[in-house]
């Protein structure tokens, strides 16, 4: 079956295309820019379509002849709900029957707008009439690598929330492998799977493990919110993307983001990778 993967040139999309191709799934990747075509082909996509997810004609071209889609929405996109709605409608019109939706852990979380938009999209997916599976991943361990330089040179891991807030960090390779299994095997229709790493860790514990992996001390520190926002602003992040991130950090500060690894362990037929395994591989 030909499967459309959206957001295919992004962090999640590239890992998913690789894992799907490795499982023998034929992938049509949807990317936004022509210069991304070659990379996706090398990464395992059999076909690549260039187009904007908000453009119905592009979506029709992308969905034509597919059996279904792995829907990955671009990160912090203000039109997230409309994009999901448009894709579901296009898949149905194109005669596709399968949909795997890449949602997020706890889409019900009250505050971050992209969680709520994912919750609303989950409702549409469930009501779509398509054979659906919803994946709800926790935060990727790979996100930590943006701090690699600071951690290695200054021994400080900085977060814009309490260092005591806990997260079920997950290795993106496990998410991609599980997504590929769900698409390649029968038996996952009408299922919603939480995808959480094996142990909820505070930032203080992340720093401790990172230090152990590097063989020198690393401490966790809370970055003042204004300084964090300024830094993001300087790197060009503003508007909805900044507001959504700020709401997310407020939520994280109060609640962290903790899930249960049982569903993923069952799917993978092994426990998900630990942070220490990830840090050693990343070295």
Query: Residues interacting with ligand NAP, by CB under 6 A?
Result: 7, 9-13, 32-33, 52-54, 72-75, 77, 102, 104, 114, 137, 139-140, 143
- CB nearer to ligand NAP: pick between 10 and 113: 10
Per DSSP bridges, beta strands 47-50 and 131-137 are unpaired
| Nearest residue (CB) to ligand NAP, 52 versus 185 | 52
Q: Which residues contact 142 (CB under 8 A, 6 or more apart)?
A: 11, 171, 172
Q: Are 146 and 282 in contact (CB under 8 A)?
A: no
Q: Are 6 and 87 in contact (CB under 8 A)?
A: yes
CB nearer to ligand NAP: give 32 or 64.
Answer: 32
Nearer to ligand NAP, 75 or 230 (CB): 75
Least distance in Å: CB of 167 to ligand NAP?
Answer: 10
- Nearest distance from C-beta of residue 33 to ligand NAP, angstroms: 5
The smaller minimum CB distance to ligand NAP, of residues 58 and 155, is found at 58
Which residue, 97 or 242, has its beta carbon nearer to ligand NAP?
A: 242
SS percent in the chain: helix, strand, coil, step 5: 50, 20, 35
Q: For ligand NAP, give the closer residue by CB, 96 or 109.
A: 109
Which residue number is nearest to ligand NAP in terms of Cβ? 10
Judged by beta carbon, residue 33 or residue 234, the one nearer ligand NAP is 33
Minimal distance in Å, beta carbon 203 to ligand NAP? 15
With CA atoms as reference, report the closest residue to 195 among 111, 261, 273: 261
64: nearest Cα among 43, 84, 49: 49
Name the minimum Å distance from CB 265 to ligand NAP: 18
Min CB(118)–ligand NAP separation in Å = 7
Q: How many secondary structure helices (H) and strands (E) does the chain include?
A: 12, 11
Residue 95 Cβ vs ligand NAP, minimum distance, rounded to whole Å: 22
> Considering the complex, what minimum distance in angstroms separates the CB of residue 98 from ligand NAP?
19
d(C-alpha 269, C-alpha 186), whole Å: 16
CB of 217 to ligand NAP, least distance (A): 26
What phi-psi label fits residue 164: left (phi over 0), alpha (psi between -120 and 50 degrees) or beta?
alpha
Round to whole Å and give the CA distance between 154 and 218.
8
3-state DSSP call for residue 227? helix
Residues 6+ away with beta carbon under 8 Å from 102: 7, 12, 16, 70, 71, 72, 73, 135, 137, 179
């Amino acid at each position: 079956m030909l499967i459309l993967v959206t957001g295919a040139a992004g962090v999640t999309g590239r890992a998913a295309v690789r894992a799907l191709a490795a499982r023998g799934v034929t992938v049509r990747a949807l990317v936004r820019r022509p210069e991304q075509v070659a990379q996706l082909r090398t990464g395992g996509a059999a076909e690549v379509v260039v187009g904007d997810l908000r453009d119905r004609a592009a979506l029709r071209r992308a969905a034509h002849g597919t059996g279904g889609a792995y829907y990955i929405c671009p990160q912090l996109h203000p039109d997230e709900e409309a994009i999901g709605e448009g894709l579901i409608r296009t898949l149905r019109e194109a005669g596709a029957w399968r949909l795997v939706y890449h949602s997020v852990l706890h889409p019900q979380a009250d505050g971050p707008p992209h969680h709520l938009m994912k919750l609303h999209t989950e409702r549409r997916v469930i009501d779509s009439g398509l054979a659906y599976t919803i994946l709800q991943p926790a935060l990727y361990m790979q996100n930590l690598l943006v701090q690699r330089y600071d951690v290695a040179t200054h021994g400080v891991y900085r977060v814009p929330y309490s260092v005591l807030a806990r997260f079920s960090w997950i290795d993106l390779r496990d998410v991609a492998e599980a997504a590929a299994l769900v698409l390649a095997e029968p038996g996952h229709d009408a299922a919603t799977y939480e995808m959480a790493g094996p142990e909820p860790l505070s930032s203080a514990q992340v720093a401790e493990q990172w230090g152990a992996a590097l063989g020198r001390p690393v401490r966790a520190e809370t970055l003042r919110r204004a300084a964090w926002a300024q830094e993001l602003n300087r790197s060009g992040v503003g508007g909805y993307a900044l507001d959504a991130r700020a709401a997310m950090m407020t939520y994280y500060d109060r609640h962290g983001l903790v899930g249960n690894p049982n569903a993923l362990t069952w799917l993978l037929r092994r426990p998900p990778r630990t942070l220490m395994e990830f840090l050693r591989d990343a070295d």
